[in-house]
């Protein structure tokens, strides 16, 4: 790989690290990290989410009990401002990352798109 | 998002488009595209690969017939220099993309890594 390809990636990494999206995400993370109640809620929510995703990917059925557990945790989470703000910050960061990926991957999208056509 | 975050992504996109990995991939693609035999082999190989991946993701069993079909196509593909060169070019491009992603996503890896710790 030409050295400058990496150099451009490092520049983008720096810009991402300094972006309002990342800085905001970081403070929301810290706020949750330093609050035992919010932290345990957030971890529980993330764990249930990951378990269900895993089962879905493996084609296994999700039981009614599991849906109810996930719903119950989601409801509790919505009552905690620190956790909801963190989740909003994650959402915004994730949208920015998607935009970046779309821009960077355009050459490949074009190439593969023309192949399929 | 700060405007310059996008600007850095556009710069990287340009560098990727001009990289030897992408330029090489593009010529190998064109070579296959302009060779009916190579093209149909490549398409067949890609289709079988995608079908098997799809089944795997859905947790469905892959039959012995399917394994044999995939093996048979893979063997044929290996005898076609244009297709093997394209596959090598894809491999190199994919490794470069992985490197780029690792660099760009470092701030998020660090943040989530510290959360899990």
Residue A1 lies in a domain: no
By residue range, what is the domain housing residue B19?
Answer: 3-116
Q: Which residue has the higher pLDDT, B2 or A68?
A: A68
Confidence (pTM): 0.83
Residues 6+ apart with CB under 8 A from B74: B45
Instruction: Provide the CA A17 distance to its chain's centre, in angstroms.
Output: 15
pLDDT band at B97 (very low <50, low <70, confident <90, very high): very high
Residue A24 lies in a domain: yes
Running DSSP on this structure, what letter comes out for residue B72?
H
Q: Which CATH number belongs to the domain containing residue A53 in this structure? A: 1.20.1500.10
- Cβ contact (<8 Å) for A11 and B11? yes
**Mean local confidence (pLDDT), A78-86:** 94
- The answer to whether residue A24 neighbours chain B at the CB level (below 8 Å) is no
Rounded to a whole number of angstroms, the distance from the CA of B74 to the nearest CA of chain A is 20
Residue A23 lies in a domain: yes
ipTM > 0.85 (yes/no): no
Out of A16, A20, A111, the one facing B26 most closely (by C-beta) is: A111
Neighbours of B112 (CB within 10 A): 13
User: What pLDDT, in 10s, does the model give residues A100-109?
Assistant: 999 999 999 9
The radius of gyration of chain A's CA atoms, rounded to the nearest angstrom, is: 19
Residue A84 lies in a domain: yes
User: What pLDDT, in 10s, does the model give residues B21-38?
Assistant: 999 999 999 999 999 999
The count of structural domains within chain A is 1
- The answer to whether residue A10 neighbours chain B at the CB level (below 8 Å) is yes
pLDDT attached to residue B3: 56
pLDDT attached to residue A114: 59
Residue A3 lies in a domain: no
């Amino acid at each position: 790989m030409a050295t400058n390809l990496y150099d451009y990636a490092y520049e983008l990494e720096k810009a991402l690290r300094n972006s309002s999206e990342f800085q905001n995400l970081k403070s929301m993370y810290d706020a949750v990290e330093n609050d035992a109640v919010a932290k345990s809620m957030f971890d529980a929510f993330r764990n249930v989410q990951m378990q269900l995703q895993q089962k879905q990917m493996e084609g296994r059925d999700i039981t009614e009990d599991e849906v109810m557990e996930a719903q119950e945790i989601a409801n509790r989470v919505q009552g905690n401002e620190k956790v909801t703000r963190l989740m909003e910050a994650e959402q915004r960061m994730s949208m920015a990352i998607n935009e970046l990926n779309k821009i960077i991957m355009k050459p490949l999208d074009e190439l593969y798109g023309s192949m399929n056509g």
